[in-house]
Amino acid sequence: MTYKGRTQADIALNAIGLMSGTSLDGIDVALLRSDGEAELERGPFLTVPYTDDFRKKLAQALQTALEIESRSDRPGNLSEIETELTDLHSDAVLEFLETYSLRASDIDLVGFHGQTIFHNPDKGITVQLGDGPRLANTLGMPVVYDMRANDTANGGQGAPLAPAYHQALSANLDPQWQGLNPVCFVNIGGISNLTYIDGENPPHAFDCGTGNVLIDQWVHEHTGEAFDKDGLIGSAGQINHDIARRYIEPIASKLDRGISLDRLDFKPLEKGQLSLEDGAKTFAHITAQLIAKSQGRLPKEPKLWVLSGGGRLNRTIVDELHKVLDISPDSNEKRIIKSEDISISGDAVEAEAWGYLAIRSVKGLPLTYPTTTGVSGPCIGGVVQMPTKNS
């Protein structure tokens, strides 16, 4: 495949990655340059928040999506929301270019995640709202989208997809961290997922818990705020271990069977079952416990845990994780650190991953592996959409 007269087999490309995650908080935009393998240069990052009104539309879209029976279904007003979401992504890219004084001609391609509204790998169906051709035509740039579908069509869970990027990050760690091996990258977004890398074997990866979704729902219902900033609410609470077990056991059972998770898999507590603080603390404990339980599925015990996603900023989650993994913050033999401690933006990682995966997609390199999603074999993915006009 060629862009601008260049063969893409062995050169680095400039890719913008776009991520709208399960927290429904906004669009992350990141730029990186890579050859799709170990060569990697990370660029600037920007988050463009959704308005409260659009966030409510997406939350309702998740309910409407329960009517979906095939990947092409758009019941109710999902088509209208898909168009609006696509245009918001276009606006976010243009804002990003203006903010960092970049030109469209500086960008080789865009990796477009879209918004996951339905994910049922047992049925081989995953649906991300997002109109790739519309985005390509609006921006006048090549767009790679729908990167999960081929994995689910070949027996995979369709998630997580970031491990290929985590492997590239691991290969570029500063020497001071190389002795702490294996390394485990943990993204605590709405759903938590991890990637285990030992430097010798293919990465292992899987969803490992609830992440922030239950905390966010609980805090929003009680306060109207979108999340527990810095974990301050949870830090004032007590763990209700009975309720924690009721969540942990069925979720852990799904995870042990290699099933990927969706925010609709978790039924929120009814208001009044716990105090605001106790609920936030209990859900933070659940998040940490489920991450810790994931160790049993790994080849070896990780020595370095690198946290990204919004949950890395929740001190209650991080404190609970130190407790359940029995790792002292002062230990030199095992460490739990934020991605920023190794000069990686924890907010940007997922968007960067989508840019990196877009590069791998156009080069025909695998996005997923049997050890990351359970797919039948190394699996390429993504639809490459060239612009047919400039808008």
Hey, is 256 helix, strand or coil? Answer: helix
Residue 10 pLDDT level (bands cut at 50, 70, 90):
low
Which residue's entry shows tokens 């056991």? 249
pLDDT at 8: 52
The amino acid sitting at 23 is S
Spatial separation of the C-alpha atoms in residues 193 and 211, rounded to whole Å: 8
Residue 190 pLDDT level (bands cut at 50, 70, 90):
confident
Which among 279, 342, 347 has a CA at the least distance from the CA of 312?
347
Residue 173 pLDDT level (bands cut at 50, 70, 90):
confident
pLDDT at 70: 85
Residue 389 pLDDT level (bands cut at 50, 70, 90):
low
The amino acid sitting at 107 is I
Which residue's entry shows tokens 């009814």? 270
Taking residues 148-167, report their average pLDDT: 91
State what percent of residues in the chain have pLDDT above 90. Answer: 70
Where helices occur in the chain by DSSP H, the ranges are 52-64, 78-99, 132-139, 149-153, 163-171, 175-178, 213-223, 232-235, 241-256, 276-293, 315-325, 349-362, 370-373
- The domain locations on the chain are 2-158+348-385, 175-342
What is the secondary structure of 273-288 as a DSSP string? Answer: SS-HHHHHHHHHHHHH
Q: Are 157 and 374 in contact (CB under 8 A)?
A: yes
Taking residues 78-100, report their average pLDDT: 97
Note whether 2-158+348-385 and 175-342 share their fold: yes
Helix, strand, coil shares, percent, the chain, to 5: 40, 20, 35
pLDDT at 55: 94
Spatial separation of the C-alpha atoms in residues 362 and 15, rounded to whole Å: 11
What's domain 2-158+348-385's superfamily in CATH?
A: ATPase, nucleotide binding domain (3.30.420.40)
Architecture of domain 175-342: 2-Layer Sandwich (3.30)
Q: Are 143 and 385 in contact (CB under 8 A)?
A: yes
The pTM of the full predicted model, rounded to 2 decimals, is: 0.85
Mean pLDDT over each residue of the chain, to the nearest integer: 91
pLDDT at 175: 80
Hey, is 292 helix, strand or coil? Answer: helix
Spatial separation of the C-alpha atoms in residues 269 and 265, rounded to whole Å: 13
Taking residues 124-132, report their average pLDDT: 91
